Amino acid sequence: MSEACIFSSNIILAKKYPESYNLLKKHLEDCCLCQKEIEKIDRDESTWFEMIPCPAPSDIIKSAAQREIHELTKNLIKHSPSESKNKKLSVKEFILKKVLPFNR
């Protein structure tokens, strides 16, 4: 069985919450067993990170998405309140200019 320090069990929490584990900081820096444990934990973390896939879109998909997003946000302009206000005004103008003269 390999040697271990009793404080090694606190390393993960000490890394996560350094303020709460301030008293242990000096020990963790000086103790060679704890230092070995820290190295092992760091190694495990980086190995784990490599195991998680990180898919990225291809250039074709990305440019297609950019076009789609452009269309979607363009539609947002069409349906924005200021735009519909303009539309209402033009209808009003239409009535005043085209419809009313015939009814007079």
**Residues near another protein (CB under 8 A):** 44, 47-49, 51-58, 61-62, 64-66, 68-70, 72-77
The C-alpha torsion from 32 through 38 and 39 to 42, rounded to 10°, is: -170
Pick 29 or 44: Cβ nearer another protein: 44
Both structure tokens of 77: 């302009």
Find the shortest distance in angstroms from Cβ 81 to another protein.
Answer: 9
C-alpha dist (Å) from residue 44 to 5, 34, 47, 51: 19, 15, 5, 11
11: which residues sit within 8 A by CB, 6+ positions away? 28, 34, 37, 38, 41
Pick 76 or 100: Cβ nearer another protein: 76
Find the shortest distance in angstroms from Cβ 54 to another protein.
Answer: 6
Pick 78 or 98: Cβ nearer another protein: 78
Find the shortest distance in angstroms from Cβ 12 to another protein.
Answer: 12
